[in-house]
Structure formats: C-alpha cells, structure tokens
Amino acid sequence: MVRIKICGVCDAAGAEAAVQSGADLLGFHFCSSQRRVTPEEAKAIVDDLAVRPKIVGVFIDQDASEVRQIADFVDLDMVQLHGSEAPGFEAGRPVIKVLKVQDRMGVGQISGAGDWPDPIMLDSWSADQRGGTGRTWDWELARPLLSTRRVFIAGGLEPGNVGKVVSAFKPYGVDVSSGVEASVRVKDPDKVRAFIHAVRLAEALG
C-alpha cells in the first residue's frame, strides 16, 4: 500500500480532513516555513484527533537536541530532515531524509542517497528554497532508486497527477502540501479527498 503523507498541516480542520480521508501520515513544519507551527500548536491538533495516524515533524538544519526535544513533546513518530544534515543525525526517532533531484541528474548523483536508511524522500531541487518547492521534476530519473529503496515522491503532486505517478513508479509513499491547499496554510478538504482517492484508485487498477 502506498503511504500517503499530507504535509504542512496548520490547523485542526486540515488535520481532521486528512485523517477522515485516509491519510497515513500528517506532517507539521517546525522549521522556517510559511506553514510553520509551534510544538504547542501541533500537540493540541494531534491530541484532538479521533484517529491518530503517524505524525511527522519537518526540520531544516536544526540542532539535534532541539529536534529531539520537539519530537518528545509532540510525541512524533518520525522526523523529516530537509536540510544539509549529515548521516547519523541523532533525531531520537526514525528519520525520513529528503534528497533533492535536479534536472538531468542521474540517480547515482543524488547526493547522499546511499548514506541514509529507508525511507527516503525525493523532492525537486531549488536554488532559492530549502524546504518543499511545490514543483514537479522528472520522476523518470529516479526509477532505479525507486526499484531498490523505500522512497517517498514529493514535489508538485496534486490530485490530477498523483494517480499517474503511483501507476508508473509504484513508490513507497507520496507527499503533498501545496497541492491540496485552498490557500497557503489552509487545506482544501475536497482536494485532500481527491488526492487520496486518486492514489487508492491507481493502486486498485495496478
């Protein structure tokens, strides 16, 4: 089953919409981001959920002690590292390391791909953004890695293209934030439902 991560959750309504639609993971930004929330805000949202999926905290080049402190406070299941963190980063939780892919880059050139444990996340590279870009990239470049590793695909996914990605590449998981928003920080319940439905339909059709 493809794992579906709804990221950049900022409020209870967005979290509940994702959970009710069948999301497997919710992501909260504790880094410099338009979608940043405080640990207190995230904990309040998570504690109010009727059903608790896996909770992921997103960090960018933050001190390991800060990451562990937030992870303990919110009771994160996983930590997602979006910066230039080195392998062996002591997060106190399982890690999803985000690796950036540039156009025409071969899979062997994806920096750090062999140094981090599964799962990893592949996202589009940007010269001016360290976090998620919301931009698509040539997923075909990562096919060799997708066949040997547990890989989340991120970057520009939305209800209209995620089914094709799942059908063509059969990733371990998919990650979306801006692609299911009504506006920055506000998730659109209809888009969330459509995104998750597209993933499950693509799986069912093989």
> What positions carry a catalytic annotation?
7, 123
CA 3/CA 186 separation, integer angstroms: 22
- Could you tell me the two tokens for 121? 């996340």
End-to-end CA distance of the chain: 11
A 10 A CB-CB count for 197 gives 15
DSSP string, 83-95: SSPPTT---SS-E
How distant, in Å, are the alpha carbons of 49, 51, 86, 117, 146 from that of 93? 21, 21, 15, 12, 23
Rounded CA-CA distance 55/149 in Å is: 22
Please compute Rg for the chain using Cα positions: 16
